[in-house]
Structure 1
Amino acid sequence: MSNQWLITIGINQYQHFQPLNYAQADAQGLWNLVVSRGSFLPDRCLLLTDTSPFIEGQSTYPSGTNLKQWLDHLCQQAIKEDDLVWFFFSGYGVKWEGQDYLMPIDGNPADVNATGISVKEIYEKLKGSKAGTVLVLLDMNHQQEYQDGSTVVGNQTVELAREMEIPTVLSCQPGQFSYEVGELQHGLFSAALLEGLRSGAGLTLANLKRYLSERVPESSQNHSRPLQEPVFVVNPPGKSHQVILPEQPVFVGSSNGEWSPVTAQLVGSGASVTSAVATSSAENPFQAALRNQQEAGATPTASTNNGQPKPVNVAGEDDDEDNGSLWQQILLWGGGLLLLLLLILTTFGRNFLFPAGEQAEGPGDSITGTVTSPDRLTALDKAKVGLRNNQANSYVEAIKQVSQIKSGDPLYREAQTAMERWSRNILDIAQGRANTGNYRGAIAAASLVPQDPQPVFTDAERLIRQWTPLAKKQQANQAVLSTAKGLIRPNSASSYIQAINMARKIPQGDPGYAQAQALINQWSQSILNLAKQRANQGNFVLAIQAANLVPADTPAYKEAQQAIAQWQNR
Structure 2
Amino acid sequence: MENYRFITIGIGHYRFLPHLDGAEATFWSLQRFLRNDLGLSEKQALLFTDNTKLGQGKAIYPNRHNLLKSTSKVPNIIYFQGYGSHSNGQSYLLPIDADPQNLDNTALNLRSLLEKFEVSNNSPALLILDLISSEGSNPVSGQTLLEARQRGISLIVRFNQFQENLGELASALGDAFHYYQDALNLDLLEFFLRDRLDHREENPLIILSPNISSRQQALLPRKLNAPIPPLRIPQPRPVTLRPKPVALRSRPQPLGKPINFSFRDLPRSLKLGVIFLTIPLVLFAIALFTLRSSRKLAQSPSSPKPDQTIFEEAKIHLKRHQASDFIRAIGELRKISPQSPVYPEAQTRITFWSQTILEIAQGRAEVGNWQDAIAAAKLVPRDQSSIYAIAQQGIRDWQEKLTQLPDL
Scaled by the length of structure 2, the TM-score of the pair is: 0.49
* Structure (1 or 2) with the larger CA radius of gyration: 2
Considering fraction of residues, name the structure with more helix: 1
